[in-house]
């Protein structure tokens, strides 16, 4: 059937299988190139393979939980949303979360996702105790820092290219309530927001929404949002009795593909101005429930349709600390000069690099999205070049169009991965992305 | 007080698992019965973790009526609600010529489910309370060329449930017949099903849960099927036999 990632570009016909048991999965592995797919929230072509795409949603059981350590053992197809629904009412939360709860645990490991707390705790992989991985030979191997350590390392952030993740043991963290104390700080420009990030390194969560249309001295004006898990005694009196209860909200769905004009430059400009004004008005602290804080976009199901049927392209790079200021300035100037507008532009300070193939490194990451067009594609190539010039690299979970050469220039680890995949007999785990990137 | 225990016979099926989750979420203890029960341990763990209820698994082959009494004896308790989900679609073309294949379909959809539900009914009758829910099918409402071997067995089960309900109407035991139309499950995987007539397993489970609470007698898991089947039943046989269905 026709498949795509969350960005709806590219779309490609793929033979989709939905195995339900290890035996069914094993039988599918003998049939040549194949890749695992979680919930398809990767933006580009990382979870697609024409020959055989193996959707893991059928492996959706939680198997064991240990309250002393917070360790949860779950099958790879378990949804993050289900983990939260099950454990938050009991006082547990995931240690690291991406900006949507509609991802699978397998997908979170394969992309080694980072959250708003990366500067403090690192990626999701840091909380993984072990992984059961099915290799090309159909064998299931327990991988951990002690056992099959090399495979363990490359599987975290390995984009499904080391095998199929079956089960993951990872640790949840304790929380006292379902609420976050959010502080919003307006920032005049890039200098200002970066200074604020550095000043607030101790905050548990930090992320900035950045306006990509302003120029001159207002280039990079943003709203920085800090967050802390609220203690039970920090809740208003009437909520203290039930600190995990959150009023129910209705999810809305974008009913049809919007015409492209609906997301014109004007809309975005108005949106950004409004957002910045709100940030100023709302500056100071407020209590926000977990769902609104971590997953604002999830409240609008299928929001990817606002970009119309041609889809959109994501761009996310990370620049090392030393060159981040210069690099970000150039990236923002390239965007404003192009006249293209990014609907959601997110800036975040990242902590130290970890693991053989995970995306983050110490510095700043910028995530952007553009409705699909030739001009946007040209702009993104320009952004690629700027990133390369400043020693940055790209997030594969967002990528749909980078060239193999760009990947290799940005990330010297790619060659080592290719060699490992040949030596260890993993080359039949292949996505459209890995074929494009010659991994 | 803990909510009553629910037995799900044929628990591995998609509808069975959806029922198990739905009842467990509502606080019921669930007993999962299926063949190859060892594989069900993970499902039981999942249900217990998600819903914080206790769950047990029990081995049962619906083709072995000799084992039914012992199976019931070994349950931790005689359940308040017993739901039989077991079924086998089989391949119509094969079953037309292969007697063993036809017999397997008949036994899996009629003989086994009817004998086991009958046995449970007797025990519930003795206790003076309980609910029996049998999953039959709209296919049992009228024989069609494309699936009449399955359909006839389901027709038998539907008639059995209706007789049981009649017999037990004054006993405190309630019998509910479920006639699903198309449901998106393993049974129908790969079939091109019309979206408006097709239900998701979770929706079927919810419909069953709500109808059982209201002690309904016969439900179509998706209401539109009541209309569809009224029309299909009304077509005179002389015309019906000529239609390709
Ligand atoms: C709105 C939104 C916000 C996001 N925010 C963030 C963010 O803040 N931080 C961040 O890091 N990411 C973010 N992402 C990206 C997302 O977290 C990742 O793409 C994640 O991998 C998606 O998980 P999935 O289950 O949908 O996997 P898919 O998209 O289906 O697959 C992603 C990759 O994982 C591999 N994979 C999936 N399951 C398995 C398995 N069982 N075994 C082996 N490999 C497997 C696939 O082969 C593929 O390479 C965001 C995405 C969206 C849509
Ligand atoms: N799907 C539909 O469109 C549809 C429509 C109308 C009615 N129904 C009815 O709904 C019920 C559930 O079906 P489903 O759609 O969920 O399909 P399913 O997954 O194929 O369920 C059938 C179940 O019956 C079990 N079973 C078969 N033979 C058995 C035996 N000898 N002993 C023990 N268990 C046995 C199967 O167990 P194993 O897992 O061990 O094979 C399976 O779990 C069935 O009665 C079916 O006839 C379905």
Q: Is the per-residue pLDDT at A390 higher than 60? A: yes
A62: contact with B, CB 8 A cutoff = yes
Count helices and strands (H / E) in chain B.
Answer: 10, 9
| Alpha carbon B10 to chain centroid, angstroms | 8
Q: Is A224 strand, coil or helix?
A: strand
- Contact residues on chain B for A82, CB-CB shorter than 8 A: 50
Among this protein's residues, is B220 annotated catalytic?
no
- State residue A252's pLDDT score: 66
Residue nearest to atom 21 of ligand 1 (CA): A107
Q: Is the per-residue pLDDT at A263 higher than 80? A: no
Neighbours of B196 (CB within 10 A): 8
What mean pLDDT do residues A87-109 have? 97
- State residue A282's pLDDT score: 61
In tens, the pLDDT along B192-220 reads 899 999 999 999 999 999 999 999 999 99
User: B164 is written with which tokens?
Assistant: 């049981």
Alpha carbon distance A202, B148 (integer Å):
70
Q: Is A129 strand, coil or helix?
A: strand
Measured CA to CA in angstroms, residue A295 lies from A189, A219, B156, B213, B222 at distances of: 26, 27, 51, 36, 33
Taking an 8 Å cut-off on Cβ atoms, the answer to whether B39 and A61 are in contact is no
Average pLDDT over chain B, rounded to whole? 95
- Contact residues on chain B for A84, CB-CB shorter than 8 A: none
**Rounded to the nearest whole angstrom, what is the distance from the C-alpha of residue A117 to the centroid of ligand 1?**
18
Q: How far is B44 from chain A (nearest CA, A)?
A: 9
Taking an 8 Å cut-off on Cβ atoms, the answer to whether B45 and A21 are in contact is no
**Ligand 1 atom with least separation from CA of A56:** 41
A65: contact with B, CB 8 A cutoff = yes
Domains, chain B, ordered by start: 5-240 (3.40.50.720)
Q: Is the per-residue pLDDT at A270 higher than 70? A: no
Q: Is the per-residue pLDDT at A109 higher than 80? A: yes
- List, chain by chain if needed, residues with CB within 6 Å of any ligand 2 atom: B 10, 12-16, 34-35, 60-63, 85-88, 108, 135, 137, 180, 182-183, 185-188
- Its sign, for the CA torsion B26, B29, B35, B37, is positive
**Rounded to the nearest whole angstrom, what is the distance from the C-alpha of residue B62 to the centroid of ligand 2?**
11
Among A144-153, A265-274, A350-359, where is mean pLDDT lowest?
A265-274
Residue nearest to atom 18 of ligand 1 (CA): A42
Q: Is A384 strand, coil or helix?
A: helix
Alpha carbon distance A60, B202 (integer Å):
15
Length of chain B: 245
- State residue A258's pLDDT score: 53
Alpha carbon distance A19, B84 (integer Å):
25
Domains, chain A, ordered by start: 62-175 (3.30.465.10), 179-401 (3.30.70.2520)
Q: Is the per-residue pLDDT at B1 higher than 90? A: no
- State residue A305's pLDDT score: 73
In tens, the pLDDT along B162-176 reads 999 999 999 999 999
**Ligand 2 atom with least separation from CA of B36:** 40
Mutate to test the interface with B, among A19, A55, A61, A132 (most CBs of B within 10 A): A61
B27: contact with A, CB 8 A cutoff = no
**Ligand 1 atom with least separation from CA of A359:** 11
Tell me what ipTM this predicted complex has: 0.86
Alpha carbon distance B57, B43 (integer Å):
9
* b/e B165-184 (16+ beta carbons within 10 angstroms → b): beebeebebbbbbbbbbbbb
Looking at chain B, which residue has its C-alpha nearest residue A65? B49
Which ligand is nearest to the Cα of residue A100, counting in written order?
1
- State residue A346's pLDDT score: 95
CA-based end-to-end distance of chain B? 50
**Rounded to the nearest whole angstrom, what is the distance from the C-alpha of residue A115 to the centroid of ligand 1?**
13
Query: What percentage of chain B exceeds 90 in pLDDT?
Result: 92
- Contact residues on chain B for A20, CB-CB shorter than 8 A: 186
Alpha carbon distance A360, A398 (integer Å):
13
* b/e A128-158 (16+ beta carbons within 10 angstroms → b): bbbbbbbbbeeebbebeeeebeebbbbbbbb
B43: contact with A, CB 8 A cutoff = yes
- For residue A335, give every residue at least 6 positions away whose Cβ sits within 8 Å of its Cβ, in sequence order, or none: A212, A342, A368, A379, A383
Choose among A356, A353, A352: nearest CA to A151. Answer: A356
In tens, the pLDDT along B40-54 reads 999 999 999 999 999
DSSP code for A354: -
**Rounded to the nearest whole angstrom, what is the distance from the C-alpha of residue A322 to the centroid of ligand 1?**
29
Q: Is the per-residue pLDDT at A220 higher than 70? A: yes
**Rounded to the nearest whole angstrom, what is the distance from the C-alpha of residue A54 to the centroid of ligand 2?**
24
A215: pLDDT confidence band, cut at 50, 70 and 90? Answer: confident
Query: What percentage of chain A exceeds 70 in pLDDT?
Result: 92
In tens, the pLDDT along A167-196 reads 999 999 999 999 999 999 999 999 999 999
Question: Does residue A318 contact residue A337 with C-beta atoms inside 8 Å?
Answer: no
Q: Is the per-residue pLDDT at A424 higher than 80? A: yes
CA-based end-to-end distance of chain A? 25
Rama region for A308: left / alpha / beta (φ>0; ψ in -120 to 50; rest)? left
| Alpha carbon A206 to chain centroid, angstroms | 15
What are φ and ψ of residue A44, in 5° steps? -105, -125
Q: Is B30 strand, coil or helix?
A: strand
Q: Which of B23, B110, B150, B209 is catalytic?
A: B150
Alpha carbon distance B128, A329 (integer Å):
78
B244: pLDDT confidence band, cut at 50, 70 and 90? Answer: confident
User: A170 is written with which tokens?
Assistant: 């990872």
Taking an 8 Å cut-off on Cβ atoms, the answer to whether B45 and A62 are in contact is yes
- State residue A281's pLDDT score: 58
């Amino acid at each position: 059937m026709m498949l795509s990632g969350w960005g709806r570009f590219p779309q490609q016909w793929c033979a989709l299988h939905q195995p339900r048991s290890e035996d069914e999965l094993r039988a599918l592995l003998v049939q040549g190139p194949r890749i695992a797919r979680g919930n398809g929230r990767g933006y580009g072509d990382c979870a697609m393979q024409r020959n055989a795409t193996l959707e893991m949603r059928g492996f959706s059981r939680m198997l064991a939980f240990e309250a002393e350590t917070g360790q949860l053992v779950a099958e790879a197809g378990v949804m993050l949303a289900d983990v939260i629904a099950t454990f938050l009412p009991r006082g547990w939360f995931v240690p690291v979360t991406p900006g949507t709860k509609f991802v699978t645990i397998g997908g979170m490991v394969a992309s080694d996702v980072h959250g708003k707390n990366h500067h403090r705790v690192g990626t999701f992989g840091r909380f993984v105790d072990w992984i059961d991985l099915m290799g090309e030979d159909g064998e299931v191997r327990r991988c951990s820092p002690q056992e099959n350590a090399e495979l363990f390392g490359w599987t975290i952030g390995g984009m499904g290219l080391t095998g199929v993740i079956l089960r993951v043991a990872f640790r949840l963290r304790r929380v006292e309530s379902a609420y976050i104390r959010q502080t919003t700080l307006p920032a005049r420009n890039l200098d200002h927001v970066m200074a604020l990030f550095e000043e607030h390194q101790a905050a548990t969560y930090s992320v900035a929404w950045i306006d990509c249309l302003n120029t001159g001295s207002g280039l990079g004006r943003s709203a920085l949002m800090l967050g802390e898990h609220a203690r039970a005694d920090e809740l208003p009196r009437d909520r203290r009795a039930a600190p995990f209860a959150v009023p129910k909200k209705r999810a809305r769905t974008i009913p049809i593909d919007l015409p492209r004009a609906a997301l014109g430059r004007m809309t975005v400009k108005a949106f950004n101005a409004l957002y910045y004004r709100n940030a100023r008005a709302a500056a100071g602290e407020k209590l926000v429930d977990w769902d609104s804080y971590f997953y604002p976009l999830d409240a609008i199901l299928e929001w990817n349709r606002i970009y119309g049927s041609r889809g959109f392209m994501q761009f996310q790079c990370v620049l090392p600390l030393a060159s981040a200021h210069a690099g970000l300035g150039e990236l923002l100037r390239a965007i404003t000069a192009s006249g293209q507008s990014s609907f959601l532009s997110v800036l975040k300070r990242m902590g130290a690099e970890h693991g053989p193939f995970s995306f983050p490194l110490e510095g700043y990451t910028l995530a952007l999205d553009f409705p699909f067009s030739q001009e946007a594609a040209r702009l993104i190539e320009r952004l690629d070049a700027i990133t390369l010039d400043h020693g940055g690299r790209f997030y594969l979970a967002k990528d749909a169009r980078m060239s193999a050469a760009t990947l290799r220039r940005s990330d010297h680890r790619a060659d080592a991965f290719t060699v490992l995949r040949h030596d260890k007999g993993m080359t039949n785990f292949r996505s459209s992305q890995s074929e494009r990137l010659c991994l | 007080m803990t909510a009553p225990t629910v037995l799900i016979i044929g628990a591995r099926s998609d509808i069975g698992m959806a029922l198990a989750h739905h009842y467990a979420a509502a606080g019921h203890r669930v007993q999962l019965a299926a063949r190859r029960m060892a594989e069900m341990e993970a499902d039981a763990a999942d249900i217990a973790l998600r819903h914080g209820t206790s769950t047990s698994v029990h081995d049962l082959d619906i083709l072995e009526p000799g084992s039914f009494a012992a199976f019931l004896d070994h349950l931790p308790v005689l359940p308040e609600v017993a739901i039989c989900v077991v079924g086998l679609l089989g391949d119509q073309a094969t079953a037309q010529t292969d007697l063993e294949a036809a017999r397997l379909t008949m036994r899996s959809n009629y003989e086994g489910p009817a004998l086991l539900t009958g046995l449970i009914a007797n025990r519930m009758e003795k206790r003076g309370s309980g609910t029996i829910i049998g999953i039959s099918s709209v296919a049992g409402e009228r024989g069609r060329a494309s699936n009449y071997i399955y359909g006839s067995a389901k027709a038998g089960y539907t008639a059995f449930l209706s007789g049981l309900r009649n017999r037990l109407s004054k006993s405190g035991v309630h019998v509910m017949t479920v006639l699903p139309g198309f449901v998106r499950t393993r049974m129908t995987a790969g079939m091109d099903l019309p979206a408006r007539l097709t239900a998701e397993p979770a929706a079927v489970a919810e419909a069953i849960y709500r109808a059982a609470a209201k002690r309904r007698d016969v439900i179509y898991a998706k209401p539109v099927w009541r209309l569809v089947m009224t029309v299909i039943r009304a077509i005179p046989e002389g015309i019906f036999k000529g239609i390709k269905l």
